[in-house]
Chain A
């Protein structure tokens, strides 16, 4: 009996000492990007009527800030029931965004390079850090160089995407070019009500070549293989050219995984 009580008391003490108290002045981990030139694209599936989306976007931006804006690229894709335009809320929904969102039914949801995802092909914001770190640590297999020319008078926007293979890989490769607009002010549901002057960041506006993009090679590619594509659109007169960006990403259609992303301001 005494032995049993002793064992239980010892077990309780062991549990007590096994608590980890974190020093409150040292809660953040130092993070060094040990990547190899690989960039990561985070798609934030968000909505103007989604009360939890601003906090999730902030967390994703914090992640981007910590890892470096050259390494992590964020794109806000307005799609889902809470993104539907109602009343004075802005309409940022796009056919491509709805296609990427697939059959999901909530916001905010995230994807990291389209893979390292849960069954629904989406993650909660608190689940993205590890997939982002894993993706950053991957070997870079393509380099993307973007040539951007914007004619302010005609609002003609030209993009040249120059894709160079940096490793020998096999796949069914596609390139997708996207237009983003940053710092748009509008109505957004926030905890406690509606923020009429909410600043929307990195809003996906449209693609230049469809939701799936253009196929550029199926089979093996070798180091220094180069593929060049040109696109031209007229920038919507309501878009602020000073805040617009062009972004291209390459993915392997076999598994949907994004292999490289590049982004440039249009001005």
Chain B
């Protein structure tokens, strides 16, 4: 009898375990994505590529897999840059598991160990993210706790060390140039509408938040006392009433001498405010921003986009067409004053101007100037931006005459009939190429840009799309007299024309040919054509694109963070899929 009872118990356990395992597997979800970008480089005397420097191929690839089961999730990301594509940092060259994480989150508490991507507020004091097109990943390897003690309240605390290409994370393995610090931070946010029952359905909306982030890096400087603990704090408030919304965030950072700010000891500040109104068919946003010495990195010797702890959001229109996106603004963390106004209006259907489908109109204006910097006393002398000094004094609301960027654009988007769709945009651009791209002494780009994007739907499956674009510089063009010694700075200057024809067979195939022609370059040798042709095939979530031709020199920017792309010629292949 006892034997039977034991047998029954074992059977029950086995059945229970099997049921539990089955239920465990049934609750599991796995998703992921893979992408490989490869390019075969060729010599092309026509655009000045006379030497490949021993690099015929470049391949960037990644694969990431996430596993979720109820409150638990885990994942990893594998990367291979063998070697990296031109225009990406050569420190990326390598292969391996770049990121991994495990999270448990039951709604009250969430804990993560591994590589953490997160953002506090708008990112003024903390944002870690990965951007494949920039080759950027500043993730934090460490731990994070998220607490939601009551409805509407979220508290976060995290610490760790940032990814620096393939450099090791253990301090004892650090080389001299990857000796980065530890980042620690806390953030709290209170959504009053969720917490206070009386406000649950109110037209009035309010949330407040605050963050504090500190980096700990050992002082290894021979000459300067480097603060080993640098803290930055931010406070934010979001208000809304009906169709109106207002949000603002202010951040402050203590002395943080670094290679980016020329080792000055001034504090950093940033302020951003946004007011918006929206109703059906109309929306408007006004944004202002002030940034003063707000580069915040976990290694004081780091440069470019390396090891950024924070993120300074751009407030500029993001152009996607080829010529308008040639001159994209790159955020200046050492100082900028910016403003943007965006207005969208849809002329209703059935009106004279709206027609059968309505007409979308959009106006955008953004401008960025430098902040005002006044000399300060140092060792009895007036100095400006001198290493080891306070650097400068800056009046908070003063705007410098030095303009970095201005973009005024107007767009019409109109579906004319079931077969025809047109988008047209005019842009007036001012771009201080000396500050933004480092072309010393080069005159600013002052240009008018226009494009017309026409789609003709031949039938349910077949469509044609034509893009015509023009960029006309008002000062630097074919007849412009330039100093021969500065010739290289005119690589992409002057007038451009661009045309693209794309034929799509839905849902799989797409064929396109394009030419970008720098016909009005002041330097005759630079008046080049950049022909490209491409074929792409899409099958569910898989995309294969093969293209061949020339790529002009330029910058790729995402969220105000940019990388330079050198001119190239060759064949490229992109394969991506997700599940």
Partners in one complex: yes
Stretch at the interface among A20-28, A93-101, A153-161: A20-28
Task: List residues of chain A with CB under 8 Å of any chain B CB.
Answer: 1, 4-5, 8, 11-12, 15-16, 18-22, 24, 26-29, 31, 49, 51-52, 55, 59, 62-63, 66, 86-89, 103, 105, 116, 118, 123-124, 126-127, 129-133, 187, 189-194
Q: Which of B231-284 contact A (CB under 8 A)?
A: 231, 233, 254-255, 257, 259, 262-263, 265
Task: Give Cα distance in the complex from A124 to B263, angstroms.
Answer: 14
The chain A residue sitting closest to B216, CB to CB, is A18
Are A129 and B387 within 8 A (Cβ)? no
Task: Give Cα distance in the complex from A29 to B226, angstroms.
Answer: 10
Can you name 25 A-B residue pairings with CB atoms under 8 Å?
A11-B186, A15-B212, A15-B231, A16-B233, A18-B216, A19-B254, A20-B227, A20-B228, A22-B255, A24-B389, A27-B257, A28-B388, A49-B485, A49-B488, A52-B438, A63-B222, A63-B223, A86-B488, A87-B483, A118-B177, A126-B259, A127-B301, A130-B222, A194-B440, A194-B486
Are A62 and B387 within 8 A (Cβ)? yes
Known: A1-B149, A52-B438, A118-B175. 8 other contacts (CB 8 A): A8-B186, A11-B186, A12-B212, A22-B257, A22-B265, A29-B222, A63-B222, A126-B303
Task: Give Cα distance in the complex from A231 to B212, angstroms.
Answer: 64
Are A15 and B485 within 8 A (Cβ)? no
The interface size bin for chain B is: 35 or more
Chain A residue numbers with a CB within 8 Å of B220 are 130
Q: Mark B162-193, 1 if CB is under 8 A from A, else 0.
A: 00000000000001110000001110100000
Task: Give Cα distance in the complex from A62 to B440, angstroms.
Answer: 24
Task: Give Cα distance in the complex from A67 to B286, angstroms.
Answer: 53
Are B184 and A15 within 8 A (Cβ)? yes
Task: Give Cα distance in the complex from A126 to B261, angstroms.
Answer: 12
Query: At the interface, yes or no: B194 with Cβ under 8 Å from chain A?
Result: no
Task: List residues of chain B with CB under 8 Å of any chain A CB.
Answer: 53, 147, 149-150, 155, 157, 175-177, 184-186, 188, 212, 214, 216, 220-231, 233, 254-255, 257, 259, 262-263, 265, 301, 303, 387-390, 434, 438, 440-441, 483-488
Task: Give Cα distance in the complex from A62 to B388, angstroms.
Answer: 11
Chain B residue numbers with a CB within 8 Å of A1 are 149-150
Are B212 and A16 within 8 A (Cβ)? yes
Task: Give Cα distance in the complex from A97 to B439, angstroms.
Answer: 25
Chain B residue numbers with a CB within 8 Å of A116 are 176
Chain A residue numbers with a CB within 8 Å of B440 are 51, 189-194
Chain B residue numbers with a CB within 8 Å of A62 are 223, 387
The chain B residue sitting closest to A118, CB to CB, is B177
Q: Which listed residue (A22, A27, A105, A193) contacts B441, Cβ 8 A?
A: A193
Task: Give Cα distance in the complex from A31 to B222, angstroms.
Answer: 8
Chain B residue numbers with a CB within 8 Å of A12 are 186, 212
Rounded to whole Å, the gap between the CB of B371 and the closest CB of chain A is: 16
Task: Give Cα distance in the complex from A133 to B259, angstroms.
Answer: 19
Rounded to whole Å, the gap between the CB of B317 and the closest CB of chain A is: 28
Task: Give Cα distance in the complex from A87 to B504, angstroms.
Answer: 49
Chain B residue numbers with a CB within 8 Å of A193 are 440-441
Chain B residue numbers with a CB within 8 Å of A52 are 438
Rounded to whole Å, the gap between the CB of B564 and the closest CB of chain A is: 11
Are A192 and B388 within 8 A (Cβ)? no
Task: Give Cα distance in the complex from A123 to B178, angstroms.
Answer: 12
Q: Which listed residue (A118, A129, A194) contacts B222, Cβ 8 A?
A: A129
Chain B residue numbers with a CB within 8 Å of A28 are 223-225, 388
